[in-house]
Amino acid sequence: MQRRAVAVYAVLFVLVGAAAGTLTATADAPEVSFDNPAFEGGAGDSFEHDGTTYTVTEVTEETSESHGATTTTLTGTIEWNRTVEESATWANGSTVTYDGNDWRVVIDGEDPTAVTLQDQLDRTAILENDSNADNETVQSDGEEYVVVRNGNGSATLVPAGEYFPEPEERRITEGETIEYDGHGATVENVTASGATLRWETIETASTGLSQRGTVTLDGTDFVVIFQDSSTVSLSSNMDSYEAQLAEIDQFEQRMSGLTRVRWTSLGFVVFLLAFAFMPSRY
């Protein structure tokens, strides 16, 4: 009688365990998906958000093995062009490079509205190109002179101000746009201490994409979902994403509970069978 009762209970626990195992094996795990994602595509595909075009430049699948388990990691990169404001300051009295030449910055007055660029003459080159002049100037009575020799070798001291040509000057007014360093730069502000130039340039920015990660584009958060090894989706519907995560978490808790039920049932079956075949003292 004892063994019959044990057999009935053992069969009951076997059925319970089998049912739990069947549910665990056949249940479809929910996955995150979006009905109308802001973007869905692969490498080379683009989409527009707030006037900016974003391009997915790559989608990469990497596989690694650890302790016999294989892990697949999906990543990607997204790029876009953005406008960056740059500036430069021409300090009064400094030397700047402009239009392929070196210029001395001259700003006159306490409330100037323009900046003057004076050509920096290469005096050494001028002297070296003149076969009648010494290669260096000389000082006499506090004045600078150039030694010029005639055909007989007689030397004449020519004041440097007379010998060298007047340097070229360029006057640039406040608000004027010039070609500077390959950009159209505007002289925005001129003060007694210097002139400020501003211009805009286009640069390429990028950010990485990871499975179920978030990426912020122009102030908007997007969740990233890789559909497969070549397709990625971006959605700004964070409420839907959080709800799906909660559903997945609930599913995993249920599967964990069913797994515990299966192993607990198996444990009871083993215990009952062991109990049934224990020798009786009576």
pLDDT in tens, 70-101: 888 899 999 999 999 999 999 999 999 998 88
Residue 4 lies in a domain: yes
**Same domain for 185 and 243?**
no
Report if residue 210 sits inside a domain.
Answer: no
Q: Which of 18-22, 167-171, 213-217 has the lowest mean pLDDT?
A: 18-22
Instruction: Evaluate whether residue 99 is within a structural domain.
Output: yes
Which one is predicted more confidently, 188 or 268? Answer: 188
Q: Is residue 215 part of a domain?
A: no
Is 155 a member of any domain? yes
Domain extent for 135: 87-201
Instruction: Give the pTM.
Output: 0.59
91 lies in the same domain as 167: yes
125-149 mean pLDDT: 85
pLDDT at 205: 95
Q: Is the residue at 127 inside a domain? A: yes
Could you tell me which residues come within 8 angstroms of residue 77 by beta carbon, excluding any fewer than 6 positions away? 56, 57, 58, 206, 207, 208, 209
Say how far apart CA 172 and CA 112 lie, in whole Å. 11
Residues 170 and 246 both lie in one domain: no
Shared-domain flag, residues 270 and 175: no
CB 106 within 8 A of CB 92: yes
Cα distance between residue 92 and residue 41, in whole Å:
54
100 with 160, same domain? Answer: yes
| Residues 254 and 187 occupy one common structural domain | no
Q: How far apart are CA 188 and CA 113, in angstroms?
A: 10
Is residue 129 in some structural domain?
yes
Q: pLDDT tens digits for 19-57? A: 545 555 555 555 666 778 889 999 999 999 999 999 999
- Is residue 213 included in any domain, yes or no? no
Total count of domains within the chain: 2
- Rounded CA-CA distance 163/144 in Å is 10
Helix (H, G, I), strand (E, B) or coil at 254: helix
